[in-house]
Structure 1
């Protein structure tokens, strides 16, 4: 087959992202997609590397925007509330393949009036598009059982189709345009896009401390320094090793003193009005007490640029290397930050951590570290305003909401490193507030709502086969994270330029964007993949291209071929077709003029002796007419 080429000489391809989209290379650095060259290696969804075979460009691709679909409602109710910040968004070709996750749906519906119950199990199945391509989508496979059916019979039907891993979720790929056109609304509501957490550990803090102090650093010292850094980001002062404390918060003050002691520093507190207090970390040279001189914390703040420009009194900053640091460092850093500025509660049965900040560098750092650990991170924004209660002017404030999602054990591990008992064991928040929920871990959506005709009498059957299936729950392995998942919507766009990365290999041809979205490789256009506008579906029997309804082929089972409504009606009456598999002509009931058949059996007997009207083959009787 001759390869078609674009005006710039590149071969035609399917998929692609707009220029400017940043991509992770195999060395964990991010670069714009237009900078990537043939031979470069990009990061894959399993943490490996894939070589770039071709970098192609097309200036006239149909674009779509994939945007995180949030549950933010506060800005809709109150015009003074700003729109949510940090929404995940990516613009790509309409034919870009997305890596998706859909929870398997097992549903039992009792149709009492009709005298049966219907069992449906979602499966990944083939679907033929209007332009002739074969794609994979999620569809329900259903079967009807009488109301008197045995429980074991239903279990035997369901059990072979149930997934055994990944929390009973399908991980599949689908083009953005096909997802909108061929997947129904309920199935779209239960489908999530995948975010890639960073299980890799590239130590920076530990080696730097060893080089700076000329000695081996223990695990306890490393965790203590990471906690101090997080606590300083929250309650520290830019002058150096100084903190704004609460004199009655004994748990936090004790942890600060203990971690400082690990690094040879002592905590000295000055008490102000009410519960206000200031804490200073001092070092000693003999009997002389020093502040910010030979101070280990200040050295780290300056050396690793927790000050924005590496100089004391500069603005606070969270370095980019923190999102690929050792997991213990990331967790201890967030624990210190939660001890300083955060608070926790339990809402709708899951733990939620809230952290406000007014500094954009800290805002960006918290989001990147949280998502690198596989946590669900959502953010609300409140612009500068006058706070009447205290008579103060408030600056721009971003409030972060962290939840475990698919990595609840990671959030538990972070909270266990906190010093406050009220944060390790948060209270239950009875007032439900869903204004800032962006991610789902349990796939609760309109797809999973009970059917109006479902009957509670079937709950015993559901529980029974759930137990018999012995489904293994999704467990988080040590040192690894489960994929993050988020709701999304697809918004049609204009025609514009896209760049496609064609990756080598056959097993894992994916790459990761700067927002940690997993995307599939672009594909060179072939006869199997290209859209065929001239494609028209034809009836397998009479070859017509128009019909009010396309029906399944009764004698072939589950195939992509279809027959027209007229042929389906004739076959339901005669159950007779041509024996030639290339013809498949459905026989008609023919009555001699002027004579009315006494019964169908005599009429069928006359038809059996006939030959196919089109090819002359003998008829094939299947079942009773």
Structure 2
């Protein structure tokens, strides 16, 4: 069962607070199919925080003390649930061969699922570490290799298992560290953009995709008063693509140089006939399909007109999400190809808008792309000899292989566009986690016709509630398998050594 405020991804692509979900609603399951909610439950139980392990430290050190906004790790994966809720976990199980010169034998280590008995009499299945010795001879090496091959055939490269939060302490120290949560991509979409533009959902045409790209480009470098986008005039490919893709909707990009021509051109997207016609036949905001889309679908906040990305874009059709993200990368993105792994790309996008930051992270994760957010405080900087006041900035970093490469194939900027991969493999993302006891609070459960894995709003895969979730239980805590360094001269930093033996001391 989950705490109030936990969002569930529904079958139609929108997010719903778990406390507002009713019977006969349909939620999104792990495989993309809908699952019917048979009934819901409510109780008051002790809740635990399951949160992603991260290397972010700005929230703990001096930056967090100087700037309160940096004390938050934005879009950190996690959720709050009861002690009896099942977690969907994965741990590597590839057998290894150790040849220690100090030992007389070869050692094969492997992992497998094993049933154990808890202190309160329940039988649970957890992964366990095992080892077997072989003599250091040619025959022993052959036996060890055959033994490892058999274990790989039985267990595969990874072990998927389910465990209740209260039973996490029954895992060995090494098993606990290597167990990860699953963050799943979303393969279906809501088709809202195509329905608005064409009256038909899930219609993927070059015109619909070009509108998604234009929206992403405007979110990155557009003005909020009129359909105007700032474009780097040196990037000829981008200027040319803006003209070509705009023609699908009767848009004609036009800019007028200042007395001193600048590199950045403020391009207006007029709707009407070609530039050779009279001005009165061309509309800027009136009857402009691009501007109508921005205003009617909520890309401008009604209160102050600030840019925002409506939540329906998080779970649009895959091609629409990719084109929209590509437009953002064309305007504000920086693309790097990793030298250590040439098949993996990394993109950094900077924004000052929380809504845009949230959209980048959610869209990236829904496509099977890893995403993290770092922050920078407001500051004064000198850019090209001018003193500029920079606002609080979100640095969105996304990385991936073929899913991100396919996004970059939609880009139009010359140095950012990449060839489309032959096959796009959208594998789940896996993240380590820690658990913390919080407090007693109201929790809500959703029970499906058949227990299945469902998706939270942040794309984490969780198990639907079962009867065992309806009653509270004690979190049985054993001695932590950690040794803390007491001689560290630095105060406030928790350095410790892990005891990989799995024994409590």
TM-score by length of 2: 0.82
Which residue number in structure 2 is paired with residue 153 of structure 1?
143
Output the CA distance in 1 between the equivalents of 2:34 and 2:229: 43
Which residue number in structure 2 is paired with residue 302 of structure 1?
295
Per-residue CA distance 1:10-55 (angstroms, 9 max, x = gap): xxxxxx1122322233333332222333443332222223333443
Which residue number in structure 1 is paired with residue 52 of structure 2?
68
Shift of 1:260: 1.4
Which residue number in structure 2 is paired with residue 96 of structure 1?
85
Shift of 1:368: 2.0
> What's the C-alpha RMSD, in Å, of the aligned pairs?
3.0
- In the alignment, is the contact (CA less than 8 A) between 1:307 and 1:317 conserved in 2? yes
Structure 1 residues 134 and 63: alpha-carbon distance in aligned structure 2, compared to 1, 3 A threshold: same
Shift of 1:414: 0.5
> Which runs of structure 1 show a deviation greater than 4 angstroms over 4 or more consecutive aligned residues?
74-78, 475-478, 529-533
Structure 1 residues 64 and 496: alpha-carbon distance in aligned structure 2, compared to 1, 3 A threshold: same
* 1:317 partnered with 2:308: yes
Structure 1 residues 164 and 482: alpha-carbon distance in aligned structure 2, compared to 1, 3 A threshold: farther
- In the alignment, is the contact (CA less than 8 A) between 1:104 and 1:163 conserved in 2? no
Q: How does 1:2-401 map to 2 (within 5 A)?
A: 16-59=1-44, 61-75=45-59, 78-79=62-63, 80=66, 82-83=70-71, 84-150=73-139, 151-162=141-152, 168-179=157-168, 181-211=169-199, 219-272=205-258, 273-285=261-273, 287-289=277-279, 290=282, 291-309=284-302, 314-347=305-338, 348-349=340-341, 350-387=344-381, 390-401=386-397
Partner secondary structure for residue 251 of structure 1:
helix
Shift of 1:331: 0.6
- In the alignment, is the contact (CA less than 8 A) between 2:75 and 2:358 conserved in 1? no
Partner of residue 486 from structure 1, selected from 431, 439, 445:
431
Structure 1 residues 40 and 525: alpha-carbon distance in aligned structure 2, compared to 1, 3 A threshold: same
Partner secondary structure for residue 256 of structure 2:
strand
- In the alignment, is the contact (CA less than 8 A) between 2:41 and 2:445 conserved in 1? yes
Q: How does 1:449-460 map to 2 (within 5 A)?
A: none
User: Could you list the runs of 5+ residues in structure 2 that have no partner in the other structure?
Assistant: 477-505
- In the alignment, is the contact (CA less than 8 A) between 1:39 and 1:52 conserved in 2? yes
Partner secondary structure for residue 415 of structure 2:
helix
Shift of 1:77: 5.9
Structure 1 residues 476 and 50: alpha-carbon distance in aligned structure 2, compared to 1, 3 A threshold: farther
Per-residue CA distance 1:205-228 (angstroms, 9 max, x = gap): 22322249xxx9872212221111
Per-residue CA distance 1:464-520 (angstroms, 9 max, x = gap): xxxxxxxxxxx9976x73222212111122333322333332xx5233222222221
Partner secondary structure for residue 227 of structure 1:
helix
Per-residue CA distance 1:542-587 (angstroms, 9 max, x = gap): xxxxxxxxxxxxxxxxxxxxxxxxxxxxxxxxxxxxxxxxxxxxxx
Partner secondary structure for residue 240 of structure 1:
coil
What is the aligned residue count? 454
TM-score by length of 1: 0.67
- In the alignment, is the contact (CA less than 8 A) between 1:131 and 1:532 conserved in 2? no
Question: Which structure would you say has the larger Rg?
Answer: 1
Q: How does 1:494-533 map to 2 (within 5 A)?
A: 494-505=439-450, 508-525=451-468
**After alignment, is 239-248 or 382-391 more displaced?**
382-391
User: Could you list the runs of 5+ residues in structure 1 that have no partner in the other structure?
Assistant: 1-15, 427-474, 534-625
Output the CA distance in 2 between the equivalents of 1:201 and 1:66: 28
Which residue number in structure 1 is paired with residue 494 of structure 2?
none
Partner secondary structure for residue 391 of structure 1:
strand
Structure 1 residues 45 and 284: alpha-carbon distance in aligned structure 2, compared to 1, 3 A threshold: closer
Structure 1 residues 245 and 25: alpha-carbon distance in aligned structure 2, compared to 1, 3 A threshold: closer
- In the alignment, is the contact (CA less than 8 A) between 1:132 and 1:531 conserved in 2? no
Shift of 1:161: 2.1
Per-residue CA distance 1:319-338 (angstroms, 9 max, x = gap): 22212222111111111110
Partner secondary structure for residue 99 of structure 2:
strand
